[in-house]
Chain A
Amino acid sequence: GQNIDQPTEMTATEGAIVQINCTYQTSGFNGLFWYQQHAGEAPTFLSYNVLDGLEEKGRFSSFLSRSKGYSYLLLKELQMKDSASYLCAVRDSNYQLIWGAGTKLIIKP
Chain B
Amino acid sequence: IAGITQAPTSQILAAGRRMTLRCTQDMRHNAMYWYRQDLGLGLRLIHYSNTAGTTGKGEVPDGYSVSRANTDDFPLTLASAVPSQTSVYFCASSRRGSTDTQYFGPGTRLTVL
Contact = CB atoms under 8 A, between A and B. Distances in A.
A98 B42 CA distance: 8
Interface size of A as a range? 20 to 34
A42 B90 contact: yes
Given A91-B98, A95-B98, A96-B58, A44 B42 contact: no
B101 A45 contact: yes
A41 B44 CA distance: 17
B75 interface: no
Interface size of B as a range? 10 to 19
A99 B103 contact: no
B43 interface: yes
B98 A87 contact: no
A102 B103 contact: no
Contacts of B90: 42-43
A98 B44 CA distance: 8
Interface in A18-50: 30, 33, 41-45, 48
A42 B35 CA distance: 11
Interface of A: 4, 30, 33, 41-45, 48, 87, 89, 91, 95-102
The 3 A-B pairs at the shortest CB distance, nearest first, are namely: A99-B42, A95-B98, A42-B104
Interface of B: 40-45, 58-59, 90, 97-99, 101-107
Given A4-B42, A42-B107, A99-B43, 7 more contacts: A42-B90, A43-B90, A45-B102, A91-B98, A95-B98, A97-B45, A99-B44
